[in-house]
Amino acid sequence: MIKKKHIAFLAFLLFSFGNHLLAQENPDAIALVDDQLENNFYEAMKQRGIENYDKAIVAIQKCIEKDPKNAAFQYELGKNYLSQKNYVDAEKAFKKAVELDNKQRWYWNGLYDVYYQTKDYQKSIPIVEKLVEFDANMNEDLVSLYMNTNQHGKALDLLKDMESKSKLTSTMEYYKLRIQESNKYSKPQKDQLEEAIKKNPKVEQNYIDLIVLYTSFNQEDKAFEVAKQLEKEIPNSDWAHVSLVKFHLNSNDGENASKSMFKVLGNDLVDLKIKHRVFNEFLIFAVKNPTYLKDIDKAIPYFDNDREINVAKELAKFFWKKDDLEKTAFYFDKGLKKNPEDVEAMELYLEVLIQKQDFQLVTRKAEDFLESFPTNVGFYLYAGMGYNQLKEYKKAKTVLENGLDFVVEFNPSESGMYNNRFNVNFYKQLIISCENLNDNAKVQLYTNKLKQLQK
């Protein structure tokens, strides 16, 4: 909040250097004319700060009476009306501010706030078109407004312009695909891109756009033809390999398919969705041709920066469905190295190790996981199961009883792996441990608990 002495100082600056000082970044920093005006403005700011908007409006209106051509006062009035959701008067005040000074982005922003909150997208468009002059990042808002008002042609033109200057965000890519997938725009765009390639065969972006367009329609053959043409005209283009991967795979040419895949994965400009698609196509080929599984391992680090998908974990699930427990365990281990906090991956990994009957590793991993997650009842169960299988019943009983509190506290109505059936297995493992230790009292205790659960 601006203090009175700061306002007085700004007033001095105004008189010293002229009205051009009003074009400041912070519209609250307003040059004032006299003490009465200063006091009223300070009061308006104070009341708005404590959300007494009615009193703030009265105070700022006094300022306007004294200086009706001060755009910043109109802006302050608009902000108070907007806070009250009095959109009609807020719009009038912001319009007046813009009319008095159209070079301040804050005043235009005030109008946009009104139209955005009232969902008046048509009125928002010319305001945002103006705001783009101040901040090119507002182009994303403009695209969204065009989409909301079904002006897809304008949205597509703007998206192309944005893409020519920098990589589109995921939201903008989504809008682009939506437009391209509609019949109204797909054919004209295709024709335009083909014509552009004829006129300028050395412009890579036109090929890329056409490849992406065909790929979005699952027209892989046509995308490949474009990629081949791109490879011919611009031999060093990594984008040509997007479609060449599929071609080489169809030709059973694993060596060249691998080379093309790594060209795609190594290109930072290729969207992650495309990289995942290329990787998945090569994976299917490699499963049938195990010689190339080594390339799958080499490809995983290319996805290290992917925040949404843990590729190694997904590979583990893929091989689990194929009953390949060795590879499943291998990739779960890799996935946990990328994300050591992934409890789901830990639980699945332990389950795979149980299926593999690798009980030594089960107990070691479960104990390791408990160090980080000591309240996770599942890790106690897996450790106990492992120790029972290894006939280390004392260790099994100890670790299972350590986890008993968490079993008791568990709510069976919750979703997840810890349901009533899970608790049944927990007590079954405890009974096995106690029976082998001849602890008959505990056997009876846990048997009664088990019977209650089985009801």
Q: Please report, as a single letter, which amino acid is at residue 251.
A: S
Q: Which of 70, 84, 85 is nearest to 29 (CA)?
A: 70
Rounded to an integer, what distance in angstroms lies between the CA atom of residue 74 and that of residue 61?
9
The string of pLDDT tens digits covering residues 68-124 is 888 888 888 888 888 888 888 888 888 888 888 888 888 888 888 888 888 888 888
Cα–Cα separations (whole angstroms), residue 126 to 129, 150, 163, 331: 5, 15, 22, 53
0.85 exceeded by the pTM?
Answer: no
Distance CA 27, CA 238 (A): 49
Cα 91 from Cα 94, distance rounded (Å): 5
Token digits of residue 407: 């079993």
| pLDDT value at residue 414 | 44
State the DSSP code for 414.
S
Q: Regarding the domain with residue range 357-455, which homologous superfamily does it belong to in the CATH classification?
A: Tetratricopeptide repeat domain (1.25.40.10)
CA distance 97 to 449: 75
140-146: average pLDDT: 86
Number of neighbours of residue 252 by Cβ within 10 angstroms = 10
pLDDT digits (tens, 9 = 90+) for 397-453: 999 999 887 775 444 444 333 456 678 889 999 999 999 999 999 999 999 988 887
Instruction: Give the whole-angstrom CA distance, residue 324 versus residue 404.
Output: 33
pLDDT at 357 over 60: yes
| Cα–Cα distance, 80 to 60 (Å, whole number) | 9
Q: For residues 85 and 80, give the distance between their C-alpha atoms in angstroms, rounded to a whole number.
A: 9
Query: How far is residue 450's CA from residue 378's CA, in Å, rounded to a whole number?
Result: 17
Cα atoms found within 13 Å of the Cα of residue 113, Cβ hemisphere only: 23
Mean predicted confidence (pLDDT) in 226-230 = 85
258 neighbors 279 (Cβ within 8 angstroms): no
Name the DSSP class of 167: P
Q: How far is CA 128 from CA 25, 138, 142, 201, 371, in A?
A: 18, 7, 6, 36, 54
Sign of torsion, CA 426 432 435 437? negative
Distance CA 245, CA 259 (A): 8
Q: Judge contact between 399 and 384, C-beta under 8 A.
A: yes
**What band does 351 get if pLDDT is binned at 50, 70 and 90?**
very high
The per-residue pLDDT for range 175-199, each reduced to its tens digit, is 777 776 665 555 557 888 889 999 9
Radius of gyration of the chain (CA): 33
| Per-domain residue ranges of the chain | 310-352, 357-455
Three-class secondary structure of residue 235 per DSSP? coil
